[in-house]
Amino acid sequence: MMNIIWVVSDTLRRDAVGVYGNDKIHTPSIDALAAKSVRFDKFYIGSFPTMPTRADHMTGRWTVSFMSWGPLPKGIVTLPEILRNNRINTAAIVDTPFYLRNEMNYDRGYITFEEIPGQLWRARGGDPHHRRQLSGKPSGRMDVDCFAPQTFSRAMQWLELNYREDFFLYIDTWDPHEPWNAPNYYTELYMPDFDGEPVRALYGYWPQAEGFTEETIKKAYATYCGEVTMVDTWFGYLMRKVENLGLMDKTVIIFTSDHGYYFGEHGGLYGKMVFTMNSPEKIGTWGRSPYYEEVTRIPLLIYMPGIPMGSYDGMTSAIDLMPTVMDIMGQEIPPDVEGRSLVPMMKDPGLPGYEHIFSSSSFVNAGGTDNSVDSVMRYTEHDSMATVTTEDWTLLYDTAPGGSELYNLKSDPKQEKNIITGHEDIARELHQLLVKHLRDTHLAQDKLEPRLELRL
């Protein structure tokens, strides 16, 4: 039986990795894995953002159709539960801070579950360095004081103790999620005159934010690049440990992310969603949040002994990873799983991918509340949006009249020219695919009803 090591690096844009065409950010360790892996070139998120993606990972289902940011439903059997029941050693080493907070139960099925006490826990405790990190201020710390290095270090220790067993190891680091405050020497690779002061995150349009300029965004991106290189460095240490333990011939390595991030594209978007403070009596409000390729299309590399290095150009989704692991480990895939194993595509890149992919956060209607991010109930002033992507087209569906956007990905891969006017038939066809999908996945009627019509 093959072992599995599955690494998730939060907020890692596809174009931040060298093998996907970036020649500025240093990612030699990820690129080295790619040199012996299958690279998936059209891999898309399903449910969005952080924990909904993890729910997709653990269930193989498009979970935003029936749940928001919240605990995994008790009636759904998760990937680690299935593996554990079949006597496979299951472990998760994570520093993403939401697995257990507010009665979240994302530790289900793991024999070993270790949440590195970083990100929020230490900041609320007595460690002033971590409070400064979380607030986006320079901490003066080095690698070993940062979250991703600690997570990878603990994962390496776990491997040293368990490498003789059949195992499934899930490693989840929140880096390069904001705040971007890697040690200065990483950021200085991209901004030699970096002053040590990180840039605060902003979910919105930076030209509308007080004190933000183009230089601010350049600095923010440089600090992001620094965190990417820090993650790559410690991922490289993990890979060296795997090699030193003699595991490369019997271990599958999966490397991916959960979503991307905007750094000024599409009229100045900065963040991954649009958050406003238009209602002082409320805890903020979600605004119109479109999901372009910078957020929805993410990296996926799978190294599997016996499968030569290559690439797969068909469309694939995050819901495919759970059945892929099940297939590799010789387990029967549950009938309610919506994704499909990627192993056949790795063996035969000529096999077709999906004809269309759906990407969305949980569905919420204007005027309502939802805990679509970090379990906090917030108001929304705009119906949540959804994106439908095919090989040639992408529709950013908006319930508002004239709000939907259509792009030809062949002629306009950066999605700079909305051509829905003049291509209404294509937009309607994509919208009907979305409606069918929402019905097939049993979206609640009150959420479905406003989305039955395309209002051009």
Per-residue pLDDT of the chain in tens (456 residues, 90 and over written 9) = 999 999 999 999 999 999 999 999 999 999 999 999 999 999 999 999 999 999 999 999 999 999 988 889 888 999 999 999 999 999 999 999 888 877 789 999 999 999 997 555 444 444 555 555 555 555 567 898 899 999 999 999 999 999 999 999 999 999 999 999 999 999 999 999 999 998 988 888 999 888 899 999 999 999 999 999 999 999 999 999 999 999 999 999 999 999 999 999 999 999 999 987 554 444 578 889 999 999 999 999 999 999 999 999 999 999 999 999 999 999 999 999 999 999 999 999 999 999 999 999 999 999 988 877 777 788 888 999 999 999 999 999 999 999 999 999 999 999 999 999 999 999 999 999 999 999 999 999 999 999 999 999
Q: Is 203 part of any domain?
A: no
The boundaries of the domain holding residue 401 are 392-456
Residue 288, classed as helix, strand or coil, is coil
> What radius of gyration do the chain's Cα atoms show?
21
Last residue of a domain, one of 347, 381, 412: 347
**Axis-axis angle for helices 321-328, 50-59 (nearest 10):** 30
Side-chain half-sphere CA neighbours of 86 within 13 A:
16
Tell me which H or E stretch contains 244: helix 214-244
Last residue of a domain, one of 347, 379, 411: 347
Q: Is 382 part of any domain?
A: no
Q: Are residues 427 and 314 in the same domain?
A: no
Q: Is 160 part of any domain?
A: yes
Q: Are residues 318 and 422 in the same domain?
A: no
Q: Are residues 402 and 253 in the same domain?
A: no
Question: Distance between CA 41 and CA 192 in Å, rounded?
Answer: 32
Q: Are residues 317 and 403 in the same domain?
A: no
Q: Is 387 part of any domain?
A: no
Q: Which of 10, 6, 137 is nearest to 83 (CA)?
A: 6
Q: Are residues 324 and 456 in the same domain?
A: no
Q: Is 273 part of any domain?
A: no
Side-chain half-sphere CA neighbours of 2 within 13 A:
23
Q: At 211, list the tokens.
A: 């004190």
- Beta strand 204-205 with 112-115 is unpaired
Residue 126, classed as helix, strand or coil, is coil
Torsion on CA atoms 435, 437, 440, 445, rounded to nearest 10: -40
Q: Are residues 12 and 107 in the same domain?
A: yes
- Domain tally, the chain: 2
Q: Are residues 146 and 235 in the same domain?
A: yes
CATH number for position 228 = 3.40.720.10
pTM, rounded to two decimals: 0.94
Give the total residue count for the chain.
Answer: 456
